Structures are given as structure tokens and as C-alpha cells.
Amino acid sequence: MTTEPRSCAVVFGATGGIGTALVATLQSSGRYDSVLAFGRRTPVSIDLTDEASLERAVVHAAGHGEIRLAIDATGMLHTGDYRPEKSWRELDAGHLVESFAINAIGPALLMKHLLPALPRSGRAVFATLSARVGSIGDNRLGGWYGYRAAKAALNQFVHTAAIELARRAPEAICVALHPGSVATPLSAPFARPDHPAQTPAEAAAQLLAVVDGLAPDQSGGFVDWRGETIPW
């Protein structure tokens, strides 16, 4: 008699607003044998600027079962002394490097170690949180240079990795998700009364519903929290 292999769901950036809600929602669903949370303050911690920490986390997750769902909920929009640029006059090399390191390079290195760890057969999903402002085709307001460019780079990493992933695991999905406006510390400085934000719990439920509805032919895509495709 054979037994089904254990299944595992993993959330990176699990100490942020959306990440915490994703972990709670996945745990309450009972769909996975293990739900693992990785962040800067978790027992097995990660740092997007430290590739070795990402590799350790993936190895740790793989030891708990087949990784059937992995969500990267990391990201940086602002820091204590930095806000998104309103004009090219505000462009700063150091801030651009930091934005790309957190919003594009770190997730790309995570994919480097995580995607080969996904099962070769059966459904498996890797989703990373991008942002609509990373869409070049949808950019009508300008500004936010570093964040826009880094998220556009992330989208290209996702699309390219999905092509390679399909050769290894045809039923696996690699996708970029836009969570919409969510009431978290990341978006708090930009909240507007005329543009209400979802709670993290609402966003988590909607994102997981979108993930559940994805088909393999949508791998490499860029979709929002309603499941609608966003232009590149």
C-alpha cells in the first residue's frame, strides 16, 4: 500500500501584512500537511540580499514535503528616508540599487532555488507579488521610477523562468500577481479616502482564489487579484 506524499505550502515575506494573512488563511484551509513561513524574523530567516539564506529556506521547506504552493510576498516601496520618486530630479543611484535588490534580484534568486525544487509532475504554483505600476503598457502617470522599473524587471524574470519551468514540470505554474490596494505599512503613506484598500485577510483570500483558478497555460503571466490579465 502506497501513501500520498506530504504536501507543503510556503510563504516568503511571511512577517509582512499580506504574508501574515496568507499564512493564516493557508493554515486554516487544512489543504496542506505543512504551511511554512519565512521572513526576516522567523526561526529559519531569509534576507533577500543573502542568497544563501534563500537556499537554506528552500531546502528546509523541501524537507517537509512536496512544495505544491509557494508565494513570495516580499517587496519594498519605501524606507525611512526614501519615498518613490515624483520626478527624474529625485533619481538616486543608491535608492535604485536597493529597490532592484529587494523587488527584482532577490525574488529572482529565490526562483533560482525554488523552481527546481517543485515536483516534476502534478500541479504546483509559484506566485510572486508584483504591482500594477510595474506594467509599462499601463503607465500613464509617470513617477515612481525605481519601483516601477524593479517590478517590470520582476515580471520579466517571472515570464522567462516560466518558459524554463515548463520544460521541467509541464503542469507547474510561475506567475506574477498584483494584490490591489491593501491596508499594510507598505501602502499606508499613499492611502487615499477615495480609494479604499482591502484588509490583508481579504487580499489573501482573493489572491489564493486566483491561484486556485490558474491553468498551466497561464504560467508566465501577470494577473491581478480579480484574475484579470495586466498588460506588460
Backbone angles phi, psi at 178, to 5 degrees: -100, 115
DSSP code per residue over 86-99: SSGGG--HHHHHHH
Cα 204 to Cα 16: distance, rounded to the nearest angstrom: 12
| Of the candidates 178, 175, 171, 3, the residue with the CA atom closest to the CA atom of residue 75 | 178
Q: How far apart are CA 174 and CA 138, in angstroms?
A: 22
**pLDDT-based confidence at 22, cuts 50/70/90?**
very high
Average pLDDT over residues 50-68: 98
The answer on pLDDT for 193 being more than 80 is no
Would you say residue 4 has pLDDT above 80? Answer: no
pLDDT at 185 over 80: no
Q: What is the mean pLDDT of residues 121-135?
A: 97
Angstrom distance (rounded) from CA 119 to CA 121: 5
Kindly state the average pLDDT of the residues 123-136.
97
Q: What is the residue type of 114? A: L
Rounded Cα distance, 144 and 139, in Å: 10
pLDDT for position 79: 81
pLDDT given at position 221: 98
Q: Could you give the 3-state DSSP secondary structure of residue 114?
A: helix
Residue boundaries of the structural domains of the chain = 7-224
Residue with cell string 529559519 = 44
43-53 burial: b if 16+ Cβ within 10 Å, else e: eeebebeeeeb
- Mean model confidence pLDDT for the chain: 93
The residue that leads in pLDDT, 178 or 187, is 178
Cβ burial, residue 80 (10 Å; 0-12/13-18/19+): exposed
Closest Cα partner for 105 from 138, 70, 67, 151?
151
pLDDT, residue 32, reads: 97
**pLDDT above 90 as % of the chain:** 88
**Model pLDDT for residues 73-115, shown as the tens digit of each residue:** 999 998 877 889 999 999 999 999 999 999 999 999 999 999 9
Q: Is the alpha carbon torsion for 5, 107, 12, 42 positive or negative?
A: positive
Mention every residue, 6+ apart, whose C-beta is less than 8 A from residue 187: 77, 181, 197
- What nine digits make up the cell of 204? 489573501
| 7-224: CATH class | alpha beta
